[in-house]
A = this chain, B = another copy of it.
Amino acid sequence: MQTSLILANVSKHIDLQADESDFFLSLLKEKRVKRKQHLLRENDVCLQSVFVNTGCLRGYTLDKNGYEHILQFAPPGWWIADMYSMLTRQPGELFIEALEDTEVLLLHIDDRDRLMREVPKFERFFRIIIENSLITFRQRLMENLGLPARDRYLLFCKRYPTLIERLPQKQIAAYIGVTPEFLSKMRAEMLRAR
């Protein structure tokens, strides 16, 4: 099992003893997901936190017109889960799908709770992860309210340069909140202007 990435991720925020990190790792399950395969679908109860080792996932919802809206991409080193469903243990709205063949580590919610009880440092760890996630969503909400599509696209390019190369344009459109057609027109416009 590939563990160096996740251990680096954890130790960015908390220091672990050898036995603590062994215990943590013992709770993880490895899984391979093929491109276009789903880890989670609408109306599923989300019971796993997902950590990406290689590949890339996306979390998205469908609106009532059938349009996809991407909440989050998860390239290597990122966590993803349907927090709403996980916390309420209710069926959620999130789809999690592999954009490429992807290797993930899964942490079951019950194991996460047990981990936090037995190694209280992890309470701190998950709080920090969630805080960062909160800040990101808040930021994005403000940008969606305050910036035109062009600026949102430029911000995305600046913020996630590695994702730009990796992702089909359609997915970026669904993230910044425009139709694929309009993103295409914006890009053409921006090239012409140079």
Contacts and interface: CB of A to CB of B under 8 A. Distances in A.
Contacts of A67: 146
B177 A138 contact: no
Nearest to A124: B123
B144 A63 contact: no
Interface stretch (A24-32, A125-133, A180-188): A125-133
A193 interface: no
Interface size grouping (class) on chain A: 20 to 34
A142 B84 contact: no
Contacts of A7: none
Contacts of A120: 120, 123
A141 B137 contact: yes
A144 to B, nearest CB: 5
A185 B74 CA distance: 41
Given A71-B142, A127-B123, A130-B130, A63 B135 contact: no
> Which of A126, A135, A177 gathers the greatest number of chain B CB atoms within 10 Å?
A135
Contacts of A137: 134, 137-138, 141
Interface string A61-98: 10111010101000000000001100100000100000
A71 B141 contact: yes
Nearest to A69: B145
Interface of A: 61, 63-65, 67, 69, 71, 83-84, 87, 93, 120, 123-124, 126-127, 130-135, 137-142, 144-147, 177
